[in-house]
Structure 1
Amino acid sequence: MDFLAQLAQHKKNKPTAISFIHREERMTYQELDEYSNGLASMIADSSKPIVVYGHMSKWMIIGMIAGLKAGTGYVPIDTSIPDERVEKIIQTIEPEYILTAETLNITCSAKQIQPGSWMTELKFNHINHPHDIAYTIFTSGSTGTPKGVAIQYKSLDGFIDWMLSLYDIPAENYWLNQAPLSFDLSVMAVYPALASGGTLVMIDKDMIKKPAEIHSQLIEHPISAWVSTPSFMEMGLLLPAFSQETYSNLRYFYFCGEALKHKTAAQLKNKFSDASIYNTYGPTEATVAVTGVKVTDDILDQYNPLPVGMPRPHTKLSLSPEGELLIHGDAVSAGYVKEPEKTAQQFFEDNGERVYRTGDKAELRDNLWFINGRIDYQIKLNGYRMELEEIEEQLTKIEHVRQAVVTPIEKNGRVQYLVASIVSDYEGDVTHHVKENLKNTLPEYMIPRKIRTVESLPMTPNGKVDRKQIKEAVS
């Protein structure tokens, strides 16, 4: 069913039901409908997407839905994004309207709309076409210039349908979202929550720094579905009471954005034995995620590293002669905004289908897809070519090692040695313990020269491990 039609049904059937919670902020389905109608009426004549600026605010959700209703689409920008980058995004989009849920610290010609500064007693007849751009999310470019990934409405609708096929709607239907709205992982929580008539519960950047606040949210609200990066889940697993007994309504976990480590999945399955745990994979350019697998005891027993599963409907995968994973079908983006050369490099047509070159190495085994790292995520040390992710995988298999990141230390453009930053509760000589264990699984040249123990690994605002910050700390 069309997403906006689903929203209209919820407004009609359950107008006073809560659609959104962030700290003390609440919003009903009626309020979401009326505010987004009014805003859609205001921006409907625009030929540009509306920019929604803020952090975990209901007004950002209103702006996003208004952009869909008006057919303009939207561009989410989180307050954690540096002003210089925000300026580049706005220069690229050239919006006519910016909804400012927070103060915007740059000067631009777009009209800035204050939250609630428009009429709500309006009906709005929205007509979406499958090829309309629903949203544009900016990702990091290799040159430092952000790339705007344009996702069509049909791609978003197909993703929502697939996500809901992996979810049996419970009586208490609450979705936890950890990702900023400018990070496409948030799409995995926002739209299934609203499409299913549930309540979206937002975890903000300050809560992420204080795990006890996450616990309080899980206690206060009967969360049924958890959406996050694996790194964020690893932090959750450190909570003493993180278990099915404590959070009895929490029965669905969805992970994307990073590789889900076998050890993390096994620990989670041990604490939530009856839960459905999904490992998914997909780049921003293919509408959040294109594959998924339910992590069962059998999957855990058979595979390490874990598979990412099989493609969702209307999507297929193939391999290039070089072993690069290619994504075909409706999930694939319309391309990069105002970047025809980069679009031509990454996207092409095959028998009338859009195809995206992922840059990931992959293989199909036992009718399941496995991601084997990035084509460009290799280093050469003393003449040996190696994968940093393989070393990290072996580190996290060691008893008492909870998380690990390996950083190459370079001098004059060449890698000199490796440093492993680990979170560990080992009480003895950690360096000796780690290196002795690695000798059983890795050749000598792949074992990091230095082992650095930290209380926790820093995370980006998106909930991924902040490799840049770690590199600055060890260099």
Structure 2
Amino acid sequence: MTALLHERVSAAARRWPAAIAIVMRDRRVTYHQLDDASTRLARTLREAGCRDGDRVGLLLPKSIDAIVAMLGVLKARALYVPIDVQNPAPRAARIVDACRPRVILAAASAAPLLAELRAVSPFAAEARVGWLGVPPPAEAQAAGFTQDDVDAQSAAPLSISGEPEARAHILFTSGSTGLPKGVVINHASVAAFLDWALPHFGYQPGDRVSGHAPLHFDLSTFDIYGALSAGAELHLVPPELNLLPGKLARFIRERELVQWFSVPSVMNYMARMDAVRPGDFQALRRVLWCGEVLPTPALIHWMERLPHASFTNLYGPTEATIASSYYRVSGVPSDPAANIPIGKPCGGERLFVLDAEKRPLPPGEIGDLYIAGAGLAAGYWEDAEKTAAAFVPAVDGNGLMYRTGDLAKLREDGEVVFVGRADTQIKSRGYRIELGEIEAALGAIDALQEYAVVAVDRDSFEGATVCCAYAAKPGRELPAAELRTLLSARLPAYMLPTRWAALDGLPKNGNGKIDRRRLQDEVFAT
């Protein structure tokens, strides 16, 4: 199968033209309609001046139009750059200034943000604007084109093609300096994962799969191109359901989804709120998660209620494209405090657990986790220094490897176990403490709805201060003193947090993960 992502979707359209490709709320499109619409957009982009390798910014909420835009940009041999429409204008401007888009594709709902961007960013002001869907009022429009101009184009296939190593998109992630980092993803890197994942998980035409992740988050890459390469139906989850576990469960139930894929915090929230019924989701065959640790009690909750489904833990940073390892949980864990491995490499990937001198460590010893193989990103956008620091020669002499910043250890059977972030192993009161171990212990306390442990550096002799933010289940009163007592039954005294914050809910970032930086900077700042 071709490595070019848009050609995979076009091939599916030729095989199953009348099949439903994408559904969101009450709107749905067939594969034929999707392919034609993206071709018309590609022609419009080329007429607007887009050339090979140009960037196209996407100021589009999660929608069918946004996926049409992605495919249209790829057909025009450009790179798409998803920009979260919930971003404040200064952060969005930093992304625009970094990638310098030739065109910005926008929805009417993004008109206020675009106006702010054009006022503060010269690159936003210079870019042509294409309004997809219903255009905004005339006074909000910038020079460019509208949906009517796109619809007037021919749907005849374009004659241009690309190389598998061509760049497909740039995903901007948080940077430690406060500047977003642009991770450049090639067509071939995504294709390599799909070539392993689709047969491994048994994708079939007509499968109804979830599209939960935001479109600027790399998990959505699997949602989109996995489904649309296989002739499956992609059911985009409306973002407003994310904080409504009962409605998320109803979505899975009523859409008769075959596959659910999300970050663990969503699954944990649904478990804590008891949204999954015994024997629920009868059509569901696959439950996948990636992006952070799923608390084992939440996994037990799901597995006990859905004995008919398989459960797979996927692991991998954005820099390694979607996922690099997998672990299928064969049976309901007996120990709620047990760690679920991240498993073995996906096809075409290699994992290394190394010491400080980059020497392989034997099973049981904790070291730095590195990834090599077909999924590696092309580096960071226009940042050769940062790319060279993160992507280093592989210890087996075969290409490059990426230092994840995670700590891991090998088991005797070759499975890899995630231990925690290298930057979450702190020293406090003379002891080395892994914050992930404290969170694992919190996960076994039933009264909690959600929780997070962070360290705040006080520049004191005692070292970092361990802080715990938590939200109790609705209707439960859980004073910090009581929680500390419960936790002390599971951890030694030196590992117990010294600062506590009981919240109604923990802050989340744009990807749905707990925003630990906000906890450090706002909740525990003083």
Partner in structure 2 of residue 473 of structure 1? 523
1:326 to 356, 370, 388: 370
SS in 2 for 1:336: coil
1:85 to 85, 88, 91: 91
1:391 and 2:438 aligned = yes
2:19 to 9, 12, 17: 17
Distance 2:243 2:469 in 1: 23
Distance 1:22 1:153 in 2: 26
SS in 1 for 2:201: coil
1:122-271, aligned counterparts within 5 Å? Answer: 122-169=156-203, 173-238=207-272, 240-243=274-277, 245-271=279-305
Residues 425 and 210 (structure 1), Cα distance of their counterparts in 2 relative to 1, 3 Å cut: closer
1:373 and 2:390 aligned = no
Does the Cα contact within 8 Å between 1:458 and 1:469 map onto a contact in 2? yes
Q: CA deviation at 1:150?
A: 0.6
Q: CA deviation at 1:255?
A: 0.7
Distance 2:338 2:246 in 1: 31
Does the Cα contact within 8 Å between 2:272 and 2:473 map onto a contact in 1? no
Q: Residues 94-129 of structure 1, C-alpha deviation per residue, up to 9 Å, x if partnerless?
A: 111121133223112111112133114332245231
Does the Cα contact within 8 Å between 1:265 and 1:295 map onto a contact in 2? no
Distance 2:495 2:304 in 1: 31
Distance 1:153 1:417 in 2: 42
Distance 1:428 1:211 in 2: 21
Q: CA deviation at 1:436?
A: 3.1
Distance 2:501 2:524 in 1: 9
Distance 2:295 2:101 in 1: 40
Q: CA deviation at 1:216?
A: 3.8
Does the Cα contact within 8 Å between 2:297 and 2:336 map onto a contact in 1? no
1:330-341, aligned counterparts within 5 Å? Answer: 330-341=374-385
1:52 to 52, 58, 64: 58
Distance 2:92 2:55 in 1: 15
1:73 and 2:79 aligned = yes
Distance 1:270 1:319 in 2: 33
Q: How many equivalent residue pairs?
A: 475
Q: Residues 120-177 of structure 1, C-alpha deviation per residue, up to 9 Å, x if partnerless?
A: 4332245231210111101111101111101111111011122212322357521112
Partner in structure 2 of residue 284 of structure 1? 318
1:113 and 2:119 aligned = no
1:355 and 2:355 aligned = no
Distance 2:212 2:343 in 1: 23
Does the Cα contact within 8 Å between 1:250 and 1:275 map onto a contact in 2? yes
SS in 1 for 2:450: strand
Partner in structure 2 of residue 37 of structure 1? 39
SS in 2 for 1:176: strand
SS in 1 for 2:443: helix
Query: Which amino acid in 1 is paired with 2:232?
Result: G
1:313-462, aligned counterparts within 5 Å? Answer: 313-322=347-356, 323-350=367-394, 351-365=397-411, 366-411=413-458, 415-416=464-465, 418-424=467-473, 430-462=479-511
Residues 300 and 408 (structure 1), Cα distance of their counterparts in 2 relative to 1, 3 Å cut: same
SS in 2 for 1:245: coil
Does the Cα contact within 8 Å between 1:319 and 1:362 map onto a contact in 2? yes
Query: Which amino acid in 2 is paired with 1:110?
Result: A
Does the Cα contact within 8 Å between 1:22 and 1:56 map onto a contact in 2? no
Q: CA deviation at 1:300?
A: 5.9
Distance 2:155 2:164 in 1: 28
Does the Cα contact within 8 Å between 2:207 and 2:257 map onto a contact in 1? yes
Distance 1:250 1:61 in 2: 24
**Any unmatched runs of 5+ in structure 1?**
none
* Farther-moved stretch of structure 1 (411-420 vs 106-115): 411-420
SS in 1 for 2:39: helix
* Farther-moved stretch of structure 1 (249-258 vs 314-323): 314-323
Distance 1:160 1:300 in 2: 33
* Farther-moved stretch of structure 1 (139-148 vs 218-227): 218-227
Residues 426 and 369 (structure 1), Cα distance of their counterparts in 2 relative to 1, 3 Å cut: farther
**Any unmatched runs of 5+ in structure 2?**
119-123, 133-146, 357-366
SS in 2 for 1:404: strand
Does the Cα contact within 8 Å between 2:466 and 2:496 map onto a contact in 1? no
Does the Cα contact within 8 Å between 1:170 and 1:224 map onto a contact in 2? no
Query: Which amino acid in 1 is paired with 2:447?
Result: H
Does the Cα contact within 8 Å between 2:212 and 2:261 map onto a contact in 1? yes
Q: CA deviation at 1:297?
A: 0.9
Distance 1:398 1:301 in 2: 13
Does the Cα contact within 8 Å between 1:130 and 1:154 map onto a contact in 2? yes
Distance 1:409 1:131 in 2: 42
* Farther-moved stretch of structure 1 (207-216 vs 407-416): 407-416
Q: CA deviation at 1:185?
A: 1.4
Alpha-carbon RMSD across the aligned residues, in angstroms, is 2.5
Q: CA deviation at 1:40?
A: 1.9
Report the identity percentage.
31
* Farther-moved stretch of structure 1 (394-403 vs 81-90): 394-403
Distance 2:190 2:452 in 1: 33
Does the Cα contact within 8 Å between 2:170 and 2:184 map onto a contact in 1? yes
Partner in structure 1 of residue 141 of structure 2? none
Q: Residues 14-44 of structure 1, C-alpha deviation per residue, up to 9 Å, x if partnerless?
A: 3232212222332221121011112222335
Distance 2:58 2:320 in 1: 22
* Farther-moved stretch of structure 1 (6-15 vs 218-227): 6-15
Query: Which amino acid in 1 is paired with 2:296?
Result: H
Q: CA deviation at 1:375?
A: 1.3
* Farther-moved stretch of structure 1 (272-281 vs 50-59): 50-59
Distance 1:83 1:52 in 2: 14
2:68 to 58, 62, 65: 62
Distance 1:300 1:30 in 2: 48
Does the Cα contact within 8 Å between 2:246 and 2:275 map onto a contact in 1? no
1:305 to 305, 323, 339: 339
